């Protein structure tokens, strides 16, 4: 008997034990279904409707099973051999934006292909069945990557400016002082795991290797940019890593890459490019930068954007960790989502790397996500403000950096739309259940229009100096009302109550000595 501990859970309840002597077509059984699927692929036996439905789960379970790497088990070896045969017979769906994967069978193959490639005895022999179009790209040899590292709370990806083609292997020589210190090597910039009915790429396309020796061989079935991943709170100067063989990528780094260097580098053969500025790194498909002649102008713009983001957050201009953007063919959720890196769809890449686009059309979505990364739990009231306060940065950057008025920065910010939202909110009884996103933003916009951006910066500064905060929304909202009132020297409790905030009598008493804001917009 084997026991496997998984991250997933099953629903509480009473489950009937299946009879192992029965061939059960309507009950999920891992080995039985795998055997049936192998026959489906090799001798084209038809699967039942129920078995078709189980294929997605089978793919996920196969991936989990293969991750055990129990090479000394005959059962494990049998499963690896079965899946290898299936992949050699059927091949891997050549998934892409123009050739998406939808069927349960293709889902399964795509899911297990990556894992089988990692654990099968001869991955090189399997590779041609998995990746059909894999052109040989020009390479550089023994490329040296120099690094100075000073990480804060989170791990940090260090770009190498190099790319590995699908299945391509290389050795990396690592300095002894970072071996077994929590460092990793990452191949691939797209770390989102997909769980979608229609796939435009494989569900998981990056690989990580722990740095446990001074010479490490790395590869990834799907290829990808090469990164060193530094652990949190790490300081090191003058580190040097040598990459035996890799494909050069279009890689620009402010203060290092000259315009003359870039004129050649932007045509480098890697399908992925990176632009590293003072406080942000943009990872985009290479076609987005082939025509970019003056990266220094784009660097100056992004430096202004990031300074503005820091200014509004009342933080130093130098970020403790550079933000990252990755524009990919498909991401795990939304049009973009925050995090490290911020993930965006490929269509956003052009807007991220064009100064003209930014200054004429803005980039509301990108700044919205950078705003998400500035949000703090102590002045956030989830779920009301989750998609609201991040937009303060969008408004601020558009007006201060792009010189685009808030009315033109987003269709929802026209005066007509804003007024309509407030009227509808009041008609609805000023109910906090509908105080979210654009409606909630209006509260902050009214404060900004009365007291200016400096007041909001001073409020954020005050929060930086506090040590303890309430955990509940009611407590946090009272603290915010009190902090803003004291910052501007005016009692704002009437304003917040007019918005339906649960202002307590104790808060009103604390602020009673301040002059009241009696002519606020909600009167």
Give tens-digit pLDDT for 35-92: 999 989 888 888 888 888 898 889 888 988 998 888 999 999 999 999 999 999 999 9
**Where do runs of H (alpha helix) occur along 362-436?**
364-372, 390-400, 406-409, 415-427
Q: How many angstroms separate the Cα of 251 from the Cα of each of 172, 204, 357, 459?
A: 19, 24, 21, 39
Taking residue 1's Cβ as centre, other Cβ atoms within 10 Å add up to 2
What does the block give as tokens for 456? 């909001």
Task: List strand residue ranges (DSSP E) for 165-234, in order.
Answer: 170-173, 184-187, 207-210, 215-218, 224-230
Q: How many angstroms separate the Cα of 412 from the Cα of each of 131, 417, 453?
A: 45, 6, 20
**Contact in structure between 282 and 275 (CB atoms under 8 Å):** yes
Task: Provide the whole-model pTM.
Answer: 0.92
Question: What is the predicted pLDDT for the residue at 343?
Answer: 96
**Contact in structure between 380 and 480 (CB atoms under 8 Å):** no
Question: What is the predicted pLDDT for the residue at 2?
Answer: 65
Q: How many angstroms separate the Cα of 229 from the Cα of each of 118, 139, 389?
A: 21, 23, 31
What does the block give as tokens for 34? 């795998």
Taking residue 387's Cβ as centre, other Cβ atoms within 10 Å add up to 16
CA dist., res. 504 & res. 478, Å (int) = 7
**Contact in structure between 284 and 352 (CB atoms under 8 Å):** yes
pLDDT tens, N- to C-terminus, the chain (523 residues)? 667 677 778 889 998 887 767 655 677 888 889 999 998 988 888 888 888 889 888 988 898 899 888 899 999 999 999 999 999 999 999 999 999 999 888 999 998 999 999 999 999 999 999 999 899 999 999 999 999 999 988 899 999 999 999 999 999 999 999 999 999 999 999 999 998 999 999 999 999 999 999 999 999 999 999 999 999 999 999 999 999 999 999 999 999 999 999 999 999 999 999 999 999 999 999 999 999 999 999 999 999 999 999 999 999 999 999 999 999 999 999 889 999 999 999 999 999 999 999 999 999 999 999 999 999 999 999 999 999 999 999 999 999 999 999 999 999 999 999 999 999 999 999 999 999 999 999 999 999 999 999 999 999 999 999 999 999 999 999 999 999 999 999 999 999 999 999 999 999 999 999 999 999 999 9
CA dist., res. 283 & res. 274, Å (int) = 4
CA dist., res. 10 & res. 57, Å (int) = 13
Q: b vs e for 313-351, b when ≥16 Cβ sit within 10 Å of the residue's Cβ?
A: bebeeebebbbbbbbbbbbbeeebebebbbbbebebbeb
pLDDT tens digits along 244-289: 999 999 999 999 999 999 999 999 999 999 999 999 999 999 999 9
CA dist., res. 487 & res. 41, Å (int) = 70
Question: What is the predicted pLDDT for the residue at 141?
Answer: 97
Q: b vs e for 271-285, b when ≥16 Cβ sit within 10 Å of the residue's Cβ?
A: bbbbbbbbbbbbbbb
């Amino acid at each position: 008997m084997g026991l496997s501990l998984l991250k997933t859970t099953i629903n509480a309840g009473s489950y009937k034990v299946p009879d192992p002597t029965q061939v059960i077509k309507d009950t999920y059984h891992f080995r039985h279904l795998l055997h049936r699927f192998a026959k489906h692929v090799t001798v084209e036996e038809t699967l039942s409707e129920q078995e078709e439905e189980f294929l997605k789960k089978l793919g996920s379970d196969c991936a989990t099973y293969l991750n055990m790497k129990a090479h000394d088990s005959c059962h494990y070896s049998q499963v690896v051999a079965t899946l290898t045969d299936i992949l050699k017979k059927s091949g891997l769906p050549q998934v892409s934006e123009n050739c998406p994967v939808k069927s349960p069978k293709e889902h399964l193959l795509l899911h297990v292909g990556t894992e089988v490639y990692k654990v099968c005895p001869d991955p090189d022999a399997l590779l041609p069945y998995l990746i059909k179009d894999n052109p040989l790209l020009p390479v550089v040899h023994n490329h040296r990557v120099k690094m100075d590292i000073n990480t804060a709370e989170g791990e940090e990806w260090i770009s190498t400016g190099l790319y590995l083609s699908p299945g391509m292997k290389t050795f990396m020589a690592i300095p002894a002082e970072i071996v077994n210190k929590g460092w990793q090597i990452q191949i691939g910039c797209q770390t989102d795991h997909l769980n979608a009915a229609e796939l435009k790429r494989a569900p998981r396309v990056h690989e990580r290797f722990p740095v446990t020796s001074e010479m490490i061989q790395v590869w990834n079935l799907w290829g990808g940019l090469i990164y060193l991943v530094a652990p949190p709170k790490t300081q090191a100067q003058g580190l040097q890593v040598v990459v035996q063989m890799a494909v050069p990528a279009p890689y620009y780094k402010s203060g290092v890459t000259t315009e003359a260097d870039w004129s050649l580098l932007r045509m480098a053969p890697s399908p992925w490019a990176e632009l590293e500025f003072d406080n942000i790194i943009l990872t985009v498909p290479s076609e987005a930068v082939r025509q970019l002649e003056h990266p220094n102008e784009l660097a100056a713009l992004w430096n202004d954007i990031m300074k503005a983001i820091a200014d509004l957050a009342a933080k130093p201009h130098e970020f403790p960790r550079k933000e990252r953007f990755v524009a990919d063919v498909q991401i795990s959720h939304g049009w973009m989502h925050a995090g490290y890196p911020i993930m965006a769809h490929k269509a956003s890449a052009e807007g991220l790397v064009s100064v003209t686009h930014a200054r004429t059309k803005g980039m509301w979505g990108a700044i919205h996500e950078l705003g998400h990364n500035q949000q703090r739990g102590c002045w956030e009231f989830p779920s009301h403000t989750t998609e609201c306060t991040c937009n303060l940065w969008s408004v601020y950057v558009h007006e201060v950096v792009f010189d685009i008025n808030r009315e033109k920065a987003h269709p929802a910010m026209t005066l007509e739309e804003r007024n309509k939202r407030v009227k509808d909110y009041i008609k609805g009884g000023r109910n906090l259940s509908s105080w979210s996103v654009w409606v909630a933003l209006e509260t902050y916009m009214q404060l900004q229009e009365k007291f200016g951006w400096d007041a909001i910066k001073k409020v954020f500064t005050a929060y930086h100096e506090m040590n303890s905060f309430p955990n509940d929304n009611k407590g946090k909202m009272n603290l915010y009302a009190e902090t803003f009132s004291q910052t501007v020297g005016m009692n704002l409790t009437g304003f917040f109550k007019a918005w339906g905030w649960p202002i307590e009598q104790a808060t009103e008493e604390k602020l009673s000595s301040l002059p009241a804001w009696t002519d606020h917009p909600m009167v």
